[in-house]
Structure 1
Amino acid sequence: MREEYQSTTFNFRRLIKIGAIAIITLVVVWLQPITYENIDAGNVGIKINLYGTDRGVDNITIVTGRVWYNTWTTKIVEFPTYTQSVDYDPFVITTRDAAEFNVDPKLNYHVNPAMVPQIYRQYRKPLSEIEQQFMRNTIYDAYRIVANSFSSDSVMSNREQFENRIQTMLAKNLAKDGFVYDQLTSAITPPASLRQMIDEKNASIQARLKAENEAKQARAEAEVMKAKADGEATAMLVRARAEAEANRLRQQSLTPLLVQMRLIEKWNGQLPTYGTIPALFKDLSKEK
């Protein structure tokens, strides 16, 4: 009986020991700091030591692919390097003559992989926060500085030059901090009063162009009519000259001998009287 009791006690203690070991093993596995991170294509990761003599942002390593690390002593921060598109809220800028323009910008950019450690050292924030703070301020400053060198009229009449200067300044300022400028889309809206002036100016230009075109068309039609009239007058003159020349030739052809022959042809055998002679000459003149 005593032996059975001792055997039962031993088995019970053994089960408790096994259970304790299992629980401790599970806790250790659950709490162990070793894990991994997959750095996908189009992204760059940096591994930061949190403890030791090399701790902090001064010891940052760029990593890619699958990275094993100790979560107690190491931190992995991932930055996308593919093109990002950010649509910012509109803001107001002021030109040299104090006109206010609304700007609704949209920026496309990507991160320079080689400068990811510098970006983290400088900002210590996720990329989404950097976009809405540093990058937004950089865009606003570029618009503000360039707008101060333009008048309200010149902004609209030199829109391409205005935006080129903004893009040049923006690309330069972003590149210093590791961000590569790709494209900036600007929706610039002028004040209502300036918009009305522009519309009236455009309408005036259109009216002037229309009047000039109508005047050119009228001159062209007048030239056509003049050319036609000149042609008709020339033709009439040619015909008149031809007819006059024909009459002259006919007059020259009426020699005295020819007149006598024609009178003989017209004679009816009777002696002419005073009244019949003019009639004979009249008949001769009809033959010319």
Structure 2
Amino acid sequence: MNYLSEEGRSPSRSKIIKAVVLVVLLCVFWIVQPFTYENIDAGNVGIKINLYGSDRGVDNITIVTGRVWYNTWTTKIVEFPTFTQSVDYEPFVVTTKDAAEFQVDPKLNYHINSAMVPQIYRQYRKSLSEIEQQFMRNTIYDAYRIVANSFTSDSVMSNREKFEDKIQIILSKNLGKDGFIYDQLTSAISPPASLRQMIDEKNASIQARLKAENQAKQAIAEATVSKAKAEGEAAALLVRARAEAEANRLKQQSLTPLIIQQQMLEKWDGKLPQYGTIPQFFKNIQ
């Protein structure tokens, strides 16, 4: 009976072992299997590269979007963003025509022409970050170097807009031909210490001159106000004097004989004289 029981259990144990082995094999296959997928998000472009076969290599590149299934053993997916990128580069030094050294701290905004993504990969075969720090940085440096060599140190500071316009023209041309669309370049240009000191001294001199001119204008204005005020007061005094003189003249003209007699009567004490005639009386009163 025990022997039969062992025989009856053997087929079940064998099935369990086979199932376990199958599961292990499936797990191993799932781990090592080459098939996977890549999600190409909006604002990005992917390129599918065949690694084997008669059409292998970068000569057979297909632009793909969305979810892409591929065999990692035979195929490679490289993704490039096509939305605006901003790169802040480390400062570098360029030399002007008169051997002055300017430090430049550029920041570039650009985006990729999606139709030229295969060409970009064929030409550089690097990631976008590597392209930014190698080819694009060298292009920016060369643009500044070429333009700076055509300017003197003074003209760089006094013609900043013209200086940067020339750099933008060169960058737009050299980056655009390889599929990188120039958007904006922000550059902080710092002159050498000696030139900066000269500029500061010049600005201080200009500020002092403007201050002196303003003070002189203010003094002239205050003097003009004082003069106008004095002239006004003098004119007012003259007007008052003329008015008083005119009043006195009119007062003198108003003293008629009748008024004089009235004043004489006001001076009389009421006693008749003991001598002379009435006319003589009035004459004496006067």
- Structure 1 length-normalised TM: 0.79
4+ residue segments displaced more than 4 Å? 21-32, 255-258, 267-272
Equivalent-residue separation in structure 1 for 2:36 and 2:246 (angstroms): 120
Letter in 1 for 2:80: F
Equivalent-residue separation in structure 2 for 1:217 and 1:24 (angstroms): 97
| Partner of residue 149, structure 2 | 148
Equivalent-residue separation in structure 2 for 1:176 and 1:102 (angstroms): 28
Q: Does the residue aligned with 1:67 lie in a helix, a strand or coil?
A: strand
Letter in 1 for 2:47: I
| Partner of residue 40, structure 1 | 41
| Partner of residue 60, structure 2 | 59
Equivalent-residue separation in structure 1 for 2:42 and 2:51 (angstroms): 26
| Partner of residue 93, structure 1 | 94
| Partner of residue 209, structure 1 | 210
Equivalent-residue separation in structure 2 for 1:263 and 1:151 (angstroms): 103
Letter in 2 for 1:130: I
| Partner of residue 229, structure 1 | 230
Map of 1:1-288 to 2, 5 A cutoff? 31-255=32-256, 258-268=259-269, 269-270=272-273
Number of matched pairs: 266
Equivalent-residue separation in structure 1 for 2:238 and 2:285 (angstroms): 33
Q: Does the residue aligned with 2:49 lie in a helix, a strand or coil?
A: strand
- Cα distance per residue 1:210-250 (max 9 Å; x no partner): 11221222122112111211111111111111111122223
Equivalent-residue separation in structure 1 for 2:173 and 2:234 (angstroms): 75
Letter in 2 for 1:35: T
> Is the alpha carbon distance of 1:133 and 1:263 closer, same or farther for their aligned partners in structure 2, counting shifts above 3 Å?
same
Q: Does the residue aligned with 1:47 lie in a helix, a strand or coil?
A: strand
Report deviation, 1:267: 4.2
After alignment, is 106-115 or 129-138 more displaced?
A: 106-115
- Cα distance per residue 1:60-79 (max 9 Å; x no partner): 11011221223333222121
Report deviation, 1:260: 4.9
Unaligned runs of 5+ in 2: 277-281
Equivalent-residue separation in structure 2 for 1:163 and 1:222 (angstroms): 49
Report deviation, 1:87: 2.2
Q: Does the residue aligned with 1:262 lie in a helix, a strand or coil?
A: helix
| Partner of residue 284, structure 1 | none
Report deviation, 1:261: 4.8
- Structure 2 length-normalised TM: 0.79
Q: Does the residue aligned with 1:54 lie in a helix, a strand or coil?
A: coil
Report deviation, 1:172: 3.0
Unaligned runs of 5+ in 1: 282-288
Letter in 2 for 1:168: I
Equivalent-residue separation in structure 1 for 2:252 and 2:25 (angstroms): 148
Equivalent-residue separation in structure 1 for 2:174 and 2:73 (angstroms): 37
Letter in 2 for 1:223: T
| Partner of residue 286, structure 1 | none
Equivalent-residue separation in structure 2 for 1:187 and 1:280 (angstroms): 107
Equivalent-residue separation in structure 1 for 2:37 and 2:185 (angstroms): 38
> Is the alpha carbon distance of 1:63 and 1:259 closer, same or farther for their aligned partners in structure 2, counting shifts above 3 Å?
same
| Partner of residue 279, structure 2 | none
Report deviation, 1:118: 1.0
Report deviation, 1:195: 0.7
- Cα distance per residue 1:41-67 (max 9 Å; x no partner): 332110122333433222211011221
